[in-house]
Amino acid sequence: MKIRLKRALFPPKGLPPRSCIQLVISMIKLTGLNKSFGKHIALQDINLSIHSGEIFGIIGRSGAGKSTLLRCINRLEEPDTGHVYVDNEEITHLKGLQLRKTRHKMAMIFQHFNLLHSKTVYDNIALPMRIQGLSEATIKQKIMELLPLVELSEKLDAYPSELSGGQKQRVAIARALSTSPSILLCDEATSALDPETTDAILELLKKINQTLNLTIVLITHEMDVVKRICNRLALMEHGKIVEETPISDVFNNKDSIARSMLYAQLSPELPQCIQRNLSQEPDDRLPLVRIFFEGHGATVPFISKTSRDLNMDINILLANVDRFENLTCGVLIAALSTNGEHLQRFIQQCEQHNLTVEVLGYVTSDVI
C-alpha cells in the first residue's frame, strides 16, 4: 500500500506543518480516463484519487458524466483509455472471475433502489451473499447483525412493494453491506427521497462510514448532500473534473465554483412582493444587498459598527446560517437606508472585512 506517511511526518518546505499526522491511503485511483458514446464525450481525462475511509462526493448536473465515472470504478462501464486502480490493484483489464471477485469488494446503491420485487427483505439482503456462495447459516447470522443498523428488524418478511422509499433504500444499503465491502458506490442514492428521508439516509451513510470504516463514493446533483456528509468533493462539468477540494477548504478559495454553489444553496429566496418590485435603477430607491459571511467574519458587530460609522440604517430582511464541517457561514439580505456614495463606502467596508457583497437591486421604501 502506498502510504504518504513520509510527507505527512516531514512536510516539504512551503507547506504548513500538519497539526496531526494523517495517514492517507489511496483506495481508488483513476488515471487518464476517457470515455465516449459515439460522438458524445462522457469523460475527458479524469484523474482522481479517493482515500481509504473518506466520503467522496462527485457533484454535477445531469449529463456531466458523473454516473459514467462512478460506473468506471466497478467497471459497469468500460473506459476507452486510462487506468482504474482499486486498493492498489489495477482492475482496468480484469475479466470473468477476477472481475467478479473485484466487484465482490465493492457494493453499489441506486437512485431507484433496484430491489427484487419477487423477494422478501430477507432474500433481497441475502442475494449478494448467495451469489458469493456463503452458507445459509452465515447469511442468517449476517442479516441479523445488519438489521438493527438499518432499522429494519420488523420488516424481514415484507416485500419491497410494502415498504416506503426510505425503507427500500435501507434494504438496499443492508444488501450492499452484507458482503462487508470496502467501498460503497452511491448513485444518486437520495434523489428519489423526500427531504426528511434524505436526512435519515445520509445520517445512516455517515454512521456506516464511521463504524465500518467504509470508503464511500457518492454522486449527486444536490450540493446539500455533499455539504452534509462528504469530506472531499469533485465538481464535474461536460465530462471533466473542474474542481477537486476538501469541503473545509472550499471557503478559502474565492474562485471556487463549489463555493458559489454552496452560497446559492444557502441563500434564501426573496419574497415575491419584493422580487416583483426590484428595480435595477437606483433613482430614489433603497439598495438591497446580499452579504455572505463565514467563520470569524462575524456579522452582527460588523453591521452595527458599519451602521454607526456610516450613519445609515441597515435593515436585515432575511438571514440564513449553516455549518460546514467546523466552519459557520451564512448569508443575509439587507436594505440600506441611503444610496449613492454611502453605498460605495458600505461596499468598501465589506471588502475590508472580507465579506462578499452583491447589490441585488433597488426597492422603494414602502415595499419593505
Partner 1 sequence: MSPVMLYDVLIATAATLYMVIASTVFAIAIGLPLGTLLFSSDKIKPNPILNKIIAAIINISRSIPFIILLVALIPFTRLVVGSSIGIHAAMVPLTLGAAPFFARLVDNVYRSMSEGLVEAGFSMGASSWQMIKHILLPEATPQLIHAVTVTAITLVNYSAMAGTVGGGGLGDLAIRYGYQRFNLPVMLTTVAILVIIVQALQMIGDRLAKRLSHT
Q: Which residues bind partner 1 (CB under 8 A)?
A: 74, 76, 99-104, 106-108, 110, 112, 114, 116-119, 127-128, 130-132, 159-161, 179, 185
Minimum distance from CB of 74 to partner 1 (Å)?
6
Minimum distance from CB of 76 to partner 1 (Å)?
6
Closer residue to partner 1 (CB): 39 or 117: 117
Cell numbers for 130: 448467495
58 sits in which H/E element: strand 55-59
For residues 169-188, one letter each, b for 16 or more C-beta atoms within 10 angstroms of the residue's C-beta and e for the rest, the string is: bbbbbbbbbbbebbbbbbbb
| Helix 165-177 with 195-212: angle, nearest 10 deg | 20
Question: What is the three-state SS of 271-331?
Answer: CHHHHHCCECCCCCCEEEEEEEEECCCCHHHHHHHHHHHHCCCEEEEEEEEEEECCEEEEE
Indicate the DSSP class of residue 25: B
Closer residue to partner 1 (CB): 34 or 114: 114
Minimum distance from CB of 130 to partner 1 (Å)?
6
Minimum distance from CB of 261 to partner 1 (Å)?
28
Closer residue to partner 1 (CB): 98 or 365: 98
Q: How far apart are CA 244 and CA 326, in angstroms?
A: 19
Closer residue to partner 1 (CB): 9 or 116: 116
Cell numbers for 75: 467497471
Minimum distance from CB of 162 to partner 1 (Å)?
8
Closer residue to partner 1 (CB): 190 or 299: 190
Calculate Rg over the CA atoms of the chain. Answer: 25
Minimum distance from CB of 132 to partner 1 (Å)?
7
Closer residue to partner 1 (CB): 4 or 101: 101
Q: Which residues contact 56 (CB under 8 A, 6 or more apart)?
A: 50, 215, 216, 217, 218, 230, 231, 232, 233, 234
Give the position of cell 434494504.
171
Closer residue to partner 1 (CB): 157 or 351: 157
Minimum distance from CB of 105 to partner 1 (Å)?
9
Q: Which residues contact 88 (CB under 8 A, 6 or more apart)?
A: 1, 2, 26, 29
| Mode of pairing for the β-strands spanning 81-86 and 26-37 | antiparallel
Closer residue to partner 1 (CB): 114 or 356: 114
Minimum distance from CB of 46 to partner 1 (Å)?
20
Q: How far apart are CA 44 and CA 32, in angstroms?
A: 8
Residues linked to residue 328 through DSSP beta bridges, in sequence order: 323
Closer residue to partner 1 (CB): 131 or 316: 131
Minimum distance from CB of 75 to partner 1 (Å)?
9
Cell numbers for 315: 435593515
